[in-house]
Amino acid sequence: MARAHGGLTSAGKVRKCTPKKEKKEKPRPPRGRAYRRRQYKKTFESELLIHNGRRLGPNNIIVRQKQGY
């Protein structure tokens, strides 16, 4: 017979101990056409993605260093 991972006496102890935080008020992200436009600009029009004449991906280490990560 299969058993559960861990005892049921210790269930939920981490969530109970973490302090409750209020949600932050954030600006609403663009939707529809505006979202696709921002996606296109990030992918194709960004000067950060060109290095020595080659197009790099957005997760490339050179691009991330230029962005300050």
Q: How many domains does the chain have?
A: 1
20, part of any domain: no
Q: What is the pLDDT of residue 52?
A: 83
8, part of any domain: no
Q: What is the pLDDT of residue 29?
A: 94
Report helix, strand or coil for 17: helix
Domain range for 35: 28-69
CA torsion sign, 32 to 35 to 40 to 43?
A: negative
pLDDT tens profile 3-36? 666 677 777 888 889 999 999 999 999 999 999 9
Q: What is the pLDDT of residue 32?
A: 97
Of 5-9, 32-36, 39-43, 45-49, the one with minimum mean pLDDT is 5-9
pLDDT tier for residue 51 given thresholds of 50, 70 and 90: confident
